[in-house]
Amino acid sequence: MVGSIAAIGMGLAVIGAGMGIGKIGDSAMQAIARQPEAVGDIRSNMILMAALIEGAALIAIVMAFLVAGV
C-alpha cells in the first residue's frame, strides 16, 4: 500500500519536472527563433535550468523510495 502511494508520489514528481522542463524547452525554442545568434548561450542555460529542475524531481523520487522502504 505504502509502495503504491510512493509510486503515485513519484509520478507526481515526474509530472512536475516534465512541466518545468517543457516550459524551459518552449521558451528556449522561442528565444532561439527570435535570436538565433545567441543559440550557444541559450542552449547551455537551458541545460543548466533543466538540470536544476531535475534535481528537485530526483529528491522527490528518492524520498518516495525511502518512504516505500524498498
Partner 1 sequence: MKKHILLSLFALLLSFSMNAQSHPKDKHDHDHSEHADHDHGDHSHDNHKHDGKAHDDHAHGDHGCHFHHHPEGQEYTPKDVANTAFHHISDANVYSIGPWQIPLPCILYAPETGWDVFLSSKFKFKSTGHGDGYSAYKGYILDAGTVKRITDPSFPRDVDEVPLQGIIHKTEMVDGKEKTVAYACTGEAMYRTDPKSIADAGIFGGGISSFYDFSITKNVTSMIIVFFGMLWLFLRVAKSYVTRNGMAPKGLQSFIESIFVFIQDEVAKPFLGHKYLKYQPFLMAIFFFVLGLNLWGQIPFFGGANVTGNIGVTMVLAIFAFLVVNLSGNKHYWEHIIAMPGVPKWVLTILTPVEFLGIFIKPLTLMLRLFANITAGHMVIIVFVSLIFMFSKGGTSMAGGLGTAVGSTLLTIFMMAIELLVAFIQAFVFTILTASYLGAAVEEPHHH
User: Given the C-alpha cell 500500500, which residue does it identify?
Assistant: 1
Helix or strand (DSSP H, E) at 40: helix 39-68
Show the cell assigned to 18: 516534465
Q: Which is nearer to partner 1, 30 or 55 (CB)?
A: 55
> Contact between 4 and partner 1 (CB under 8 A)?
no
> Contact between 60 and partner 1 (CB under 8 A)?
no
Q: Residue 30 Cβ, how far from partner 1 at the closest point, in Å?
A: 21
Interface with partner 1 (CB under 8 A): 40, 44, 47-48, 51-52, 54-56, 58-59, 61-62, 66-67, 69-70
